[in-house]
Amino acid sequence: MRQDSSKVFSIVRTYLDSGATLSGNDEAIMLCPNPDHQDRRRSNCSINLRKQVWHCFSCGDGGSLHKALRYAKQYSVNVPSVSPMVALEEQEEDVVLDKRLLAAYEYYADPWIEAGFNADLLDDHNIGYDIHNHRITIPLFNKDGDLIGISGRATRRGQEPRYKIYKSELGKFAPYDYSPKTHSHLWRFNQCNQLDGPILVVEGFKAALWAVQCGYKKTVALCGASMTQQQTRLLIAHDKPVILMLDSDEAGRRGTQNCGIRLCRAGLAVTVVDYGYPAPDDIPSDEFLYVLTNNQKEFNTL
């Protein structure tokens, strides 16, 4: 770990969460610093120690290390400066991985098959299983269909983090200091950006797959409850109506509000699905399209 990253990790442990743990060379998981968020699972909140940026996948909050310290009412902590080169990384192109990497995970994702997902659908999306790390593997593609990352979903009790972007697991097949910009993309956008009709936006991989299996092919996932600027730009450039169907919890409701405001301000037509289940993948398959079709409201009427 770099010296600056080590200093930042020490600050996190001292002022934010004494139980924070490393999850990679420059990554750590910690409790969400937002005082209004009472979820005590560290697997939902990660921080990039090098860039000093954190994100909570549960409540959708995130930002700089300084913001987290303000939440903790720590205003005088001396934080290492971030190199200008790190800021420039946001402008760099994606590092493309060799798709042959996916051959290492050509095993059935049995936990999802047992949960009701069709094996052929999983194969179509190159969903596999990592027998060494006991994780379901989900390939991440950019809008052009290039492989830019692999996400591993935990399958065992107590396994953290729940979702992990593979870095060291790729070994020599990933460039040195590989750091994929996964939140710059919408999962499945490369498979549906040429399709007609409104685009359905959900939070996670499972929700997106479930929507596709139930018959709505033009579905993408944010991979969280919040929408990044880059994801917003993708939808604006796509210039089609957007249907928001995030999870029904507090984080999902906040995310829906934030996403809707951003997209409406850009001039897109936005509707929101009001449904009585925790998440889209909890809706029975024979009800999904009915719920999706008959429970939409214009965003500005909410």
**31-85 pLDDT, tens per residue?**
999 988 877 777 778 888 888 888 886 777 888 899 999 999 998 898 888 765 5
Residue reference for tokens 């001039």: 267
| Res 213: pLDDT | 98
| Res 237: pLDDT | 85
Closest CA to 72 of 127, 125, 13, 114: 13
The percent of residues above 70 in pLDDT, for the chain, comes to 94
Could you give the CA distance from residue 92 to residue 272 in angstroms, rounded to a whole number? 34
pTM of the model: 0.73
> In order of start, what are the domains of the chain with their CATH numbers?
3-91 (3.90.580), 99-182 (3.90.980.10), 189-301 (3.40.1360.10)
Assess whether pLDDT exceeds 80 at residue 91.
no
DSSP state of 14: I
Burial class, 208, CB count within 10 angstroms (exposed 0-12 / middle 13-18 / buried 19+): buried
**244-289 pLDDT, tens per residue?**
999 999 999 989 998 998 888 778 899 999 999 999 999 999 999 9
Could you give the CA distance from residue 280 to residue 277 in angstroms, rounded to a whole number? 7
List the structure tokens of 123.
């194969």
DSSP state of 144: T
Question: In one letter, which amino acid is 24?
Answer: G
Please enumerate, as own/partner, the contacts of 297-301 that have beta carbons within 8 Å and a separation of 24 or more.
Answer: 297/271, 297/272, 298/269, 298/270, 298/271, 298/272, 299/244, 299/260, 299/263, 299/264, 299/270, 299/271, 299/272, 300/264
Q: Which residues does 278 contact at the CB level (< 8 Å), separation at least 6?
A: 247, 248, 249
Task: Give the Å distances, CA to CA, from 47 to 20, 22, 69, 271, 275.
Answer: 10, 9, 13, 32, 32
The percent of residues above 90 in pLDDT, for the chain, comes to 59
| Res 92: pLDDT | 59
Burial class, 146, CB count within 10 angstroms (exposed 0-12 / middle 13-18 / buried 19+): middle
| CB-based contact 31:16 (threshold 8 Å) | yes
Question: In one letter, which amino acid is 292?
Answer: L
